[in-house]
Amino acid sequence: MKHFGLKNVLPKKARNAFYKTKHYMTILVVGASGATGKQLVEQLLIKKHNIKVIVRSPEKLPESWKSNDNLQIIAASILDLNDEAMRKHVADCDAIASCLGHNLTWKGVYGQPRKLVTDAARRLCDAVKTNAPKKPVKYVLMNTTGNRNRDLKEPISFAQKCVIGLLRLLLPPHVDNEKAADYLRTQIGQNNAFIEWAAVRPDNLIDEDQVTDYETHASPTRSAIFNAGKTSRINVGHFMANLISDATLWTTWKGQMPVIYNKSAAE
């Protein structure tokens, strides 16, 4: 892994000591070719972490990634990897981040795999548990405010319950998002020896060019159906990157499902 900037001003021994104090991490990102996944990877690269991405179509990735010494591109469909390959890819990882989602096409919404997000979470976590790392690996899932944190018994209106019931019937990706978070809550839980997790819930996603002020909450402060707020994809990437990198922030949110809004939308 190549680091820029210090090579010409510090001797090798001093550089090595500096890098050790910076606590650079190795992070696997799945769903990195998506709109939010790209933002997350960019934020992690800014922090100089060592990134691995598993993508079906590497040609869709930014050219700058292909020449970045801190980024390894693995061309594969995540669910097509066998168990041995999965264990290999997560073996040296300090964290795994999932920005997987379903394409907004007929095939993407109603075709296979219908449980992409859930099955990927399960298989990646199984690989981590089989490897039995010495310290827990962080698993950060991008989720949605349309999914409740059932650990907190978050209240919603009868009308919203009805709409979400229809979404479960009509939109398989919504069920997939719910089941992925439920897997982390109920199957990984709060005291797993090998995995710690957080599920980040943005509201209505929008595109912006720069990180702006945003707020995080333990539960939604507005209706995801009838009064949705806005969350920029770059802010989601920024928060997820900080969540992975900052030990204090991780302690605050691990085992939880933080909600993120652009600050102007939350006021």
Q: What is the mean pLDDT of residues 70-76?
A: 95
**Could you tell me the pTM of the whole model?**
0.86
Give 92-125 pLDDT, tens digit per residue: 999 999 999 856 665 666 667 779 999 999 999 9
Q: Are strands 214-217 and 259-262 parallel, antiparallel or unpaired?
A: antiparallel
- Measured CA to CA, the distance from residue 114 to residue 223 in angstroms comes to 26
Would you state the pLDDT for residue 103? 67
**Annotated domain spans of the chain:** 20-266
Would you state the pLDDT for residue 21? 45
Mean pLDDT score of the chain, rounded to an integer? 88
- Break the chain down into helix, strand, coil percent, rounded to 5: 45, 20, 40
CATH superfamily of 20-266: NAD(P)-binding Rossmann-like Domain (3.40.50.720)
Q: What is the mean pLDDT of residues 55-65?
A: 90
